[in-house]
Amino acid sequence: MLETILMVCEANMCRSPMAEMIMADRLPGKTVMSVGMCALPGRPADRATVQLMHERGYDLSTHVTTLLTLAHAKAAHLILTMTLDQRSRIERAYPFTRGKVYRLGEHDDFDVADPYLQPRAVYEESLAQIEVGIDNWIPGIRKCG
Give the Cα separation of 141 and 145 in Å (integer). 6
Question: 106: which DSSP letter?
Answer: G
Instruction: Give the pLDDT of residue 83.
Output: 98
Instruction: Give the pLDDT of residue 56.
Output: 96
Active-site residue, 114 included: yes
Active-site residue, 9 included: yes
102 beta partners: 80
pLDDT single digits (tens) 82-93: 999 999 999 999
Out of 9, 14, 46, 87, which one is annotated catalytic? 9
Domain ranges of the chain: 4-135
Active-site residue, 15 included: yes
Out of 26, 43, 89, 114, which one is annotated catalytic? 114
pTM of the predicted model over 0.85: yes
Helices (H), 2-119: 15-26, 47-55, 70-75, 84-93
Which class does domain 4-135 fall in?
Answer: alpha beta
Out of 14, 15, 46, 87, which one is annotated catalytic? 15
